């Protein structure tokens, strides 16, 4: 392998050097860091390490309340919703934690046809979704990568009345720069890829076969994606494989690398924890299981460390854990998910075709109603990506806090669209009430923008955004 292909910016020695002393942080030091974090310029690796060692309930509470403040300042009360769309569970790799791994004979294999993908999309549209995340195992059908490109086109082309999917993100295997160019041309939003673990020895232990064994090919995927013009990339770690403190420090190194090389870091960070999976021993007993308390602490610290980055919570987690994470930093959530190809049509989802067990089994409407009852505005907005506000442009807009003049009115208008087209009568009433409360809390500039947009949607116009 050529030297530049090695991801040597993930530097284990640097991480161990910063984490090893494990000092019990002084109260004054922690408060000084939290004061800095409130300025919303982020935190260094040393500062992240220091906060990760906090154990005192009082200081933990202060970390969480600072994260809440920072999140509200940047994101207001919005929570963006999406659904995963699994198109194939065939895979050539052997990841010990995943039900889709090649030698798992307990799994029912399925690769959806284009008509089946259109059917799944129609179901998601009828539930009110506007964003999907295409997910697939790493074995392509005979038509090769064209299958993925066709699937994206099918999703964008599918319509149900006024409903449509407006942003397709993908969670797929690492690709060559040339294939990333094709993905960009297909109109994807974010290219999402989880490193699983940044710890090389653990990575080697859990990836037994196939292309995924190559740690560096995976880590350098974002460099190739960004070189191919994909501005929005989504990073993540599969928590439970190795020490979470090590993983978030390595994530900081990865972010630093992307910022230095491309002038912008990842668009999103995902926080998947390992869930039980058919035919996987390690998924039932993860070697470094992260407790709920550490999980919340970690999310809060990352919100302070990279304040402008979107943070995603999936339905791997229970409703209760998800609610707690919204308060400390999560800005995007999936809802009503199935992780087996064809699972939306099949209703309940097939445990023997699924990637892992879900923690949150509620419908989209139940999630929306819960989110509304907590005072958050469910957003189905896809405007930034479609108006070219991606990568650096998005960050430039986000950083001065200007995003509230775009995102908040857009959240309200897309939520209004959801209420008009898909909500039940009680859900609509609760939603309308929330919108009127939100309008009361807006400044004049925001109201002047949001009100005409809401009125247009109420009169029947669709896809209204700024």
C-alpha distance from residue 343 to each of 34, 124, 166, 361 (Å): 44, 11, 21, 13
The correct pick among 66, 77, 93, 158 for binding ligand SF4 (CB under 6 A) is 93
Residue-wise over 324-354: b if at least 16 C-beta within 10 A, else e? Answer: bbbbbbbbbbbbbbbbbbbbbeeeebbbebb
Q: How far apart are alpha carbons 126 and 160 in whole angstroms?
A: 7
Kindly state the number of chain residues that form the binding site for ligand SF4, as judged by CB under 6 A: 9
CB of 274 to ligand SAM, least distance (A): 5
Of 94-102, 313-321, 332-340, 425-433, the segment contacting ligand SF4 by CB under 6 A is: 94-102
Query: Per-residue contact track with ligand SF4, 119 to 138, x per CB under 6 A?
Result: ------------------xx
- Measured CA to CA in angstroms, residue 3 lies from 6, 184, 462 at distances of 6, 27, 51
Residue 274 binds: one of ligand SF4, ligand SAM, none (C-beta under 5 to 8 A by kind): ligand SAM
Q: Does 98 bind ligand SF4 (CB under 6 A)?
A: yes
- 212 touches ligand SF4 (CB under 6 A): yes
CA distance 372 to 366: 10
Considering beta carbons, is residue 81 or 283 the nearer one to ligand SF4?
283
Binding region for ligand SF4 (CB under 6 A) out of 11-19, 88-96, 179-187, 241-249: 88-96
Tell me which of ligand SF4, ligand SAM, none is bound by residue 172, counting a contact when its beta carbon lies within the kind-specific cut-off of 5 to 8 angstroms.
ligand SAM
Q: Which stretch binds ligand SF4 (CB under 6 A): 20-28, 87-95, 409-417, 453-461?
A: 87-95
Query: How many DSSP H helices and E strands does the chain contain?
Result: 20, 11
Closest CA to 404 of 428, 377, 386: 377
By a kind-dependent CB cut-off of 5 to 8 A, residue 194 interacts, out of ligand SAM, ligand SF4, none, with: ligand SAM
The structure tokens listed for 58 are 């009082």
Residue 316 CB neighbours (<10 A): 23
d(CA 187, CA 185): 5
101 binds, among ligand SAM, ligand SF4, none (CB under 5 to 8 A by kind): ligand SF4
Which of 91, 193, 233, 305 touches ligand SF4 by CB under 6 A? 91
Distances (CA, A) of 181 to 75, 87, 149, 231: 31, 21, 11, 12
Question: Choosing among ligand SF4, ligand SAM, none, which partner's interface includes residue 206 (Cβ < 5 to 8 Å by kind)?
Answer: none
Cα angle 214, 217, 221; round to 5: 145
Near ligand SF4 by CB under 6 A: residue from 75, 82, 86, 100 = 100
Q: Which is nearer to ligand SF4, 173 or 398 (CB)?
A: 173
Task: Give one DSSP letter per residue of 13-72, joined into a string.
Answer: HHHHHHHTT-----HHHHHHHHHHHHTTS---HHHHHHHHT---HHHHHHHHHHHHHHHH
Task: Please report, as residue ranges, which positions from 229 to 268 form the binding site for ligand SF4 (by CB under 6 A).
Answer: none
In the block, tokens 């919005």 appear at 78
Residue 308 interacting entry, from ligand SF4, ligand SAM, none, C-beta within 5 to 8 Å by type:
none
Binding mask 136-175 for ligand SF4 (x = CB under 6 A): -xx-------------------------------------
Closer CB to ligand SAM, 65 or 96, in the complex:
96
Beta bridge partners of 81: 333
Tokens of 108: 């029912």
Instruction: Enter the tokens of residue 295.
Output: 């999980």
| Partner whose binding site includes residue 275, from ligand SF4, ligand SAM, none (CB under 5 to 8 Å by kind) | ligand SAM
What residues make contact with ligand SAM under the rule CB under 6 A?
A: 97-98, 100, 135, 137-138, 171-173, 193-194, 196, 238, 272, 274-275, 277, 283, 316, 355-356
Footprint of ligand SF4 on this chain (CB under 6 A)? 91, 93, 95, 98, 100-101, 137-138, 212
């Amino acid at each position: 392998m050529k030297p530049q292909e090695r991801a040597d910016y993930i530097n284990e020695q640097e991480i161990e050097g910063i984490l090893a002393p494990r000092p019990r942080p002084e109260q004054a030091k922690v408060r000084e860091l939290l004061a800095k974090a409130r300025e919303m310029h982020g935190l260094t690796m040393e500062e992240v390490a220091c906060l990760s060692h906090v154990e005192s309930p009082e200081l933990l509470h202060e970390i969480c309340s600072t994260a809440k403040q920072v999140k509200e300042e940047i994101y207001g009360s919005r929570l963006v919703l999406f659904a995963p769309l699994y198109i194939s569970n065939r895979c050539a790799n052997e990841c010990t934690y995943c039900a889709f791994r090649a030698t798992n004979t307990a799994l029912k294999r399925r690769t959806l046809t284009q008509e089946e993908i259109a059917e799944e999309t129609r179901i998601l549209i009828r539930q009110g979704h506007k964003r999907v995340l295409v997910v697939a195992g790493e074995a392509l059908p005979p038509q090769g990568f064209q299958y993925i490109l066709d699937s994206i086109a099918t999703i964008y082309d599918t319509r149900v009345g006024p409903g449509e999917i407006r942003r397709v993100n993908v969670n797929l295997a690492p690709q060559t720069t040339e294939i990333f160019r094709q993905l960009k041309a297909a109109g994807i939003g974010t290219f999402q890829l989880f490193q699983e673990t940044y710890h090389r020895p653990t990575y080697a232990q859990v990836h037994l076969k196939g292309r995924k064994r190559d740690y560096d090919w995976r880590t350098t995927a974002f460099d190739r994606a960004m070189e191919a013009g994909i501005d929005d990339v989504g990073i993540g770690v599969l928590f439970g494989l190795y020490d979470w403190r090590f993983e978030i420090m390595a994530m900081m190194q990865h972010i630093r690398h992307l910022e230095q090389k491309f002038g912008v870091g990842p668009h999103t960070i995902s926080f998947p924890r390992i869930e039980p999976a058919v035919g996987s021993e390690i998924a039932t007993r993860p070697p470094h299981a992260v407790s709920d308390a550490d999980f919340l602490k970690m999310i809060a610290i990352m919100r302070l460390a990279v304040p402008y980055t979107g943070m995603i919570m999936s339905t791997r987690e229970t409703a209760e854990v998800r609610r707690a994470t919204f308060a400390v930093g999560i800005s995007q959530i999936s809802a009503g998910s199935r992780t087996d190809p064809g699972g939306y049509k099949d209703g309940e989802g097939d445990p023997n075709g699924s990637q892992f067990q879900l923690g949150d089994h509620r419908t989209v409407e139940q999630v929306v109603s819960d989110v509304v009852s907590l005072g958050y505005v469910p957003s189905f907005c896809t405007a930034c990506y479609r108006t070219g506000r991606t990568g650096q442009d998005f960050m430039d807009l986000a950083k001065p806090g200007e995003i509230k003049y775009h995102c908040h009115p857009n959240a309200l208008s897309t939520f209004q669209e959801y209420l008009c087209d898909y909500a039940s009568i009680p859900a609509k009433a609760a939603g309308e009430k929330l919108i009127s409360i939100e309008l009361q809390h807006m400044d004049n500039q925001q109201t002047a923008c949001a009100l005409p947009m809401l009125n247009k949607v109420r009169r029947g116009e669709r896809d209204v955004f700024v």
